[in-house]
Amino acid sequence: MKKERSLAGRWMQYGAMALIVHVASGCSDKTPPPPPPADAAQVANMVAPAADARLVVAFGDSLYAGYNLDQDKGLAPVLEQALNARGVKARVVNAGVSGDTSAAGLARLAFTLDGLPRKPDLMLVGLGGNDMLRGLSPRETRANLGAILIEAQRRGIKVVLTGMLASPNMGPDYAAAFNPIYPDLAKRHDATLYPFILDGVIGQRALQLPDGIHPNDRGVTVIVRKLAPVVAGALKP
């Protein structure tokens, strides 16, 4: 119970900071446009992985994109290093776009997957946090994420769905509609669930950037330490 209260307090702090940054950055409820061509080219022109390496695409928002971090300090490169250290030869492609909502992710999904050198062995999906911060309808978030998982199933791509939790300042009704989205969809679409992408980082200022929202390089290391075993397990035949 004490641990739950502690998490709730840290998450409340996150929600307040996130709301401030969200408003200050001039975000609106409108769905962001698809990523600019440079982002697409980065994925499309990636070096093909070795024939014996597993191809993993990290498809998400700023928490995947490595917001305000050096290129080799984001989730994708650190996860790739962690998998290789565990004896899992893998190439992890960064397909994260800062600011993406679930709708924006769905809009660029096919283009992103078609731009890869081959069908990925696994896709990490981490979207919905921006939906929550903007107060978008959880029903829309559920529908968009569901469509992403359906497309992955259609293409025969395994998925690890990394979840998000509604900030307490969104209110209990919003949380009751939003929080079950990830476990429900993972079960329905046979995806592996990692319940909360910020587990171990939320509220720990030493692990966060000054905005109090995004992980710094130490925070990414903490996330990957917890996430890598889940990804390695999902990559097993």
Which segments of 88-197 does DSSP mark as H helices, in order? 102-114, 129-133, 138-154, 172-178, 181-188
**98, 100, 121, 214: the active-site residue:** 214
Active site residue 189: no
Token couple for 59: 């498809």
**39, 61, 62, 121: the active-site residue:** 62
Tell me, rounded to whole angstroms, the distance of Cα 116 from its chain centroid.
19
Helix H, strand E, coil C: the string for 16-65 is HHHHHHHHHCCCCCCCCCCCCHHHHHHHHCCCCCCCCCEEEEEEECHHHH
Q: Which residue has the tokens 């995004």?
A: 214
Tally the residues of the chain: 237
What angle do the packed helices 217-234 and 75-85 form, to 10 degrees?
Answer: 50
**184, 199, 211, 217: the active-site residue:** 211
**C-alpha to C-alpha distance for 54 and 175, rounded to whole angstroms:** 36
Q: Which residues are catalytic?
A: 62, 211, 214
